[in-house]
Amino acid sequence: MKYRRIERFHGLKRPRIRQTWNKYNLYNLQRARMPRIIQKTFFQQKWIAKALTRGYHGEHIKERQWERMFSRRLLSVVNMDPKYMARHDGSEQAAGRGSGLELPLQGRQRAEQGVRPVEVARNGGQRATKTPTPYMQMTYAPMERRLDVAVFRALFASSARQARQFVVHGAVKVNGKKMVYPGYLLNPGDLFQVNIERVMTATGRKKETGKKKMAAAKAASAGGEPAEAEEAEAKAAAEGGEEAAETTREPADEVDEETAKANEAAALKKLLSRAKFIVSSPNQDLSVKRKQAIRALIKDVKTAMARASSKKNSSLQKTGNVVDDLTTLLSQLELSPAEAKEKAEEAEAVAAKEKDEGLPTEEERALLKKAIEEELENPSDPTKPYATPWRPRPYMAPFAFIPRYLEVNQNICAAVYLRHPVARQGQAEVPTPFSPELSQLAFNWYLRRG
């Protein structure tokens, strides 16, 4: 379709600011200058302003459609102070000759400024600020009512066009019902909800595929970092440990409890070293090493738990929750029923003993628990269409803001359109990257007068 063309969408020669989180857009946004319009005629000025602003505000919408949506009535609000309203009925503002009384000359400064009692009550003796209400920045307010734009503003899609696609493809519900029209105008109080998987795909990092993946793996294997060497060692040790455990498990009846316990302690130690590595490495840098470590950790946890459940331990019951299971397991490893009586008698000596035995301390257990919880919440899952564990896509932060007319719950990827965007003194709620002068020219264009 002609009107939804995207040639030179993020052009660098003739840059346009768009509703996307693209890095080209970020570059264009940071170098954007006010166009030179002094020399131009009024018509040309309006034309330029219209072209620039429409390139951002709903460029995927036909001009005719927007012209029908445009409204010259710009909404604004003023905050009323209940304290002031309780003390004054408004007659003080009409006192005297109709615009409030001047204060009797007390301080020199006050006399100079000519502060009225109204202003004294409201601003504690300061002169009322003369910040204007930026009405002109509200030119494109009707656009913010559209469902696709609202989905983009709620940070559920990385561009307005993507948001539009979500709606068209049936991934958006309004008040619990599927809504396939991106041009649906939200009413105050409408709740819209986007498919969580779509949001995670749109806002997450891209999955590494093909060449890049191979290159990353190659780079990882080539770079001989000490941490990696340690990791490899730990892995080898863990494998060795597992093998050892298996060999000991076969003649389970003969092996005394002491040996079994020592094995478990060794396995736990490895688990802990893995967990430490995972927790310590920064989230942004998801290296191959970290991925490997996570996988190994899961595997180890599983084997440790299998071992614990194979042990004749009636008190350990699987809850189905890995974290809970593991913590129960850890507490039981620390305190076997036979040992429990002993430990109750001399608690302090036990702490020292624990240390000698290499059993996990309280902090270490917490660490392990944290690592596992993190992994459960944000798992590495190759079946997902985005890179896992999920991370925000690059260059998202400079575009991350949520206007006040929306209330968003990110956990369920839902938002409520509370009210129409409004202007206040010194503040306009329509997110627009353009200066008030440019917006005013655009507003004048759509007024179609003069």
Partner 1 sequence: MPPRIHSQPLLNCVEQTCLGRPSWQAAASQQCSQFSTTASRELNREQRRMWQWLRSEGRQYRNPKPGGGPNYLAGSTNKPFRHNETFRSQPVLSEEARNKIWSAVMEQGLPLKAVSAKYSVDMRRVAAVVRMKEIERSMQASGQPLARPYAKAVLNMLPQTHLVEGEPEHEPINEIHIHSYTMQQLFLPTPESRKFTRADAAKAFGDHILPAEKRIPLPELVGLEKDLVEGLSREEANRRFMHAAAASEQAIADREARKAREEEENKKRVDSARFEFRFENINAEAVGPNGRSRKGVGWRYGVPFHDRKRAEVKIPTKVE
Residues 282-311 that bind partner 1 (CB under 8 A): 282, 284
Specify the length of the chain in residues. Answer: 450
Q: Burial of 417 by CB count in 10 Å (0-12 exposed, 13-18 middle, 19+ buried)?
A: buried
Residue 151 in tokens: 């989905």
111 belongs to the binding site for partner 1 (CB under 8 A): no
Q: Burial of 137 by CB count in 10 Å (0-12 exposed, 13-18 middle, 19+ buried)?
A: buried
CB atoms within 10 A of CB 52: 22
List the one residue from 7, 41, 64, 78 that touches partner 1 (CB under 8 A): 78
Contact segment (CB under 8 A) with partner 1 among 244-252, 337-345, 363-371, 412-420 equals: 412-420
Instruction: Draw the binding track, 29-68, toward partner 1 (x: CB under 8 A; -: no contact).
Output: xxxx-x----------------------------------
Instruction: Compare residues 360 and 389 and give the one whose CB is closer to partner 1.
Output: 389
CA distance 238 to 268: 10
Q: How many CA atoms lie less than 13 Å away from 49 in the CB half-sphere?
A: 27
CA distance 351 to 217: 43
Range 313-372, binding partner 1 (CB under 8 A): none
259 belongs to the binding site for partner 1 (CB under 8 A): no
Question: Three-class SS of residue 157?
Answer: coil
Name the one residue in this structure whose structure tokens are 């593991």: 326
List the one residue from 16, 37, 66, 75 that touches partner 1 (CB under 8 A): 75
Instruction: Compare residues 86 and 338 and give the one whose CB is closer to partner 1.
Output: 86
Instruction: Compare residues 261 and 419 and give the one whose CB is closer to partner 1.
Output: 419
Instruction: Compare residues 216 and 306 and give the one whose CB is closer to partner 1.
Output: 216
Contact segment (CB under 8 A) with partner 1 among 237-245, 292-300, 321-329, 427-435 equals: 427-435
CA distance 120 to 134: 25
CB of 120 to partner 1, least distance (A): 17
140 belongs to the binding site for partner 1 (CB under 8 A): no
- With CB under 8 A as the rule, give the number of residues binding partner 1: 100
Instruction: Compare residues 191 and 266 and give the one whose CB is closer to partner 1.
Output: 191
CB of 307 to partner 1, least distance (A): 28
97 belongs to the binding site for partner 1 (CB under 8 A): yes
Cβ-based neighbours of 228, under 8 Å, separated by 6 or more: 220, 289
Range 146-165, binding partner 1 (CB under 8 A): 155
- Which of 399, 427, 420, 433 lies closest to 152, judged by CA? 399
CB of 254 to partner 1, least distance (A): 44
399 belongs to the binding site for partner 1 (CB under 8 A): yes
Instruction: Compare residues 241 and 436 and give the one whose CB is closer to partner 1.
Output: 436
Instruction: Draw the binding track, 205-224, toward partner 1 (x: CB under 8 A; -: no contact).
Output: ------xx--x---------
DSSP-assigned letters across all residues of 231-275: HHHHHHHHHHHHHHHHHHHTTTTTS-HHHHHHHHHHHHHHHHHHH
